[in-house]
């Protein structure tokens, strides 16, 4: 049995079509079940675009089965992800999750299914990522590496990890006054403790930072591919959560390899940890902001 795929869509037709076409080109697509969640519009303009997207969704073929859930109201990305993934995991033990602006390599589903099977009993592993940065020290002799920070671009998780996540971050007060814990949390990027603070102060609505905070609290790791199986196309002006950024651009795997080898977690590669962390450094983020201003 292959792991079901869960796709979250909103109002961007062109990106959604590209995402589906790439997913359909996966070697395992025709044998995979696809669940699509279509969120409702924030306003009349968004709702009109969503109706166009929904008409397209009903024409999709190329998967073992396709189930579409249409929300009458706007849940927002965070609530859509949390409730949607929970709904599917009520009936399945594992899940692969995508959003509507992600191009996948033909072997994306192979990597995700195989890694989910391999690490299902490894207590050190929290999630699987199909995406990776173009880091200088990515391994050429291994199909994977480990990271402290989960990725929200083409990811996968098991029911027994998902169902115990504390979405309220109930121990945040203790964390917020502990400089040592903040420093450790920021091993995944200097933006993490600030994002969590903004989330807890209701300045942002992010499922991903709470996801990563739970991972940190449990001292768990994410499995990343040595070659990215996912590429984001969500950098347009209309993008809700990204706009014009360049530091996440990565080279997509050509997809010829379909059998991957993994190893039980032993230790972190400190060189890769530093290179990964640098993608979120203050200097890197500042330069990225400047590039966005110049571009737009």
Specify the pLDDT at position 242: 44
Specify the pLDDT at position 222: 98
Specify the pLDDT at position 147: 98
Chain position carrying tokens 């110049």: 294
The full set of domain ranges for the chain reads 5-166+218-270
> What topology is assigned to 5-166+218-270 in CATH?
Spore Coat Polysaccharide Biosynthesis Protein SpsA; Chain A (3.90.550)
| Global confidence as pTM | 0.93
Specify the pLDDT at position 241: 41
Tokens of 231: 């590429």
Total residue count of the chain as it appears in this document: 296
3-state secondary structure the chain: CCCCEEEEECCCHHHHHHHHHHHHCCCCHHHCEEEEEECCCCCHHHHHHHHHHHHHHCCCCCCCEEEEEECCCCCCHHHHHHHHHHHHHCCCCEEEEEECCEEECCCHHHHHHHHHHHCCCCCCEEEEECCCCCCCCCCCCCCEEEECCCCCCCEEEEHHHHCCCCCCCCCHHHHHCCHHHHHHHHHHCCCHHHHHHHHHCCCCCCHHHHHHHHHHHCCCEEEEECCECEEECCCCCCCCCCCCCCCCCCCECCCCCCCCCCCCCCCCCHHHHHHHHHCCCHHHHHHHHHHHHHHC
- Contact partners, residue 194, CB within 8 Å, separation at least 6: none
Tokens of 46: 């968004």
* 177, burial (CB in 10 Å: exposed 0-12, middle 13-18, buried 19+): exposed
Give the separation between CA 264 and CA 260, rounded to whole angstroms: 13
pLDDT mean for each 10 residues of the chain (296 residues): 97 98 98 98 97 98 98 96 98 98 98 98 98 96 98 97 98 97 96 97 97 98 98 66 65 96 97 95 63 48
Specify the pLDDT at position 246: 72
Specify the pLDDT at position 289: 59
Q: How far is CA 148 from CA 53, 187, 262, in A?
A: 35, 7, 18
């Amino acid at each position: 049995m292959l792991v079901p795929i869960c796709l979250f869509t909103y109002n961007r037709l062109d990106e959604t079509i590209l995402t589906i076409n790439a997913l359909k080109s996966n070697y395992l697509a025709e044998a995979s079940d696809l669940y699509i969640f279509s969120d409702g519009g924030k306003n009349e303009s968004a709702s009109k675009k969503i109706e166009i997207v929904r008409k397209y969704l009903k024409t999709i073929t190329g998967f073992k089965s396709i189930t579409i859930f249409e929300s009458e109201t706007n849940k927002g990305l965070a609530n859509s992800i949390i409730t949607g993934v929970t709904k599917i995991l009520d009936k399945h033990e594992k899940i692969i999750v995508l959003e509507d602006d992600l191009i996948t390599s033909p072997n994306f589903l192979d990597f995700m299914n195989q890694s989910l099977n391999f690490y299902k009993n490894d207590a050190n592993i929290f999630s699987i990522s199909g995406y990776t940065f173009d880091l200088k020290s990515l391994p050429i002799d291994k199909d994977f590496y480990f990271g402290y920070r989960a990725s929200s671009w083409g990811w996968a998780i098991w029911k027994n990890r998902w169902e115990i996540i504390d979405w309220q971050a109930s121990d945040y007060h203790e964390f917020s006054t502990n400089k040592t814990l903040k420093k450790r949390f920021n091993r995944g990027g200097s933006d993490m403790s600030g994002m969590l603070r903004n989330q807890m102060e209701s300045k942002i609505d992010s499922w991903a930072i709470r996801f990563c905070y739970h991972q940190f609290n449990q001292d768990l790791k994410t499995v990343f591919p040595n070659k990215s199986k996912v590429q984001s196309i969500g950098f347009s002006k209309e993008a809700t959560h990204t706009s014009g950024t360049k530091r996440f651009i990565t080279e997509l795997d050509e997809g010829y390899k379909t059998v991957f080898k993994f190893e039980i977690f032993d230790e972190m590669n400190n060189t890769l940890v530093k290179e990964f962390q640098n993608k979120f450094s203050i200097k890197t983020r500042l330069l990225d902001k400047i590039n966005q201003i110049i571009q737009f």
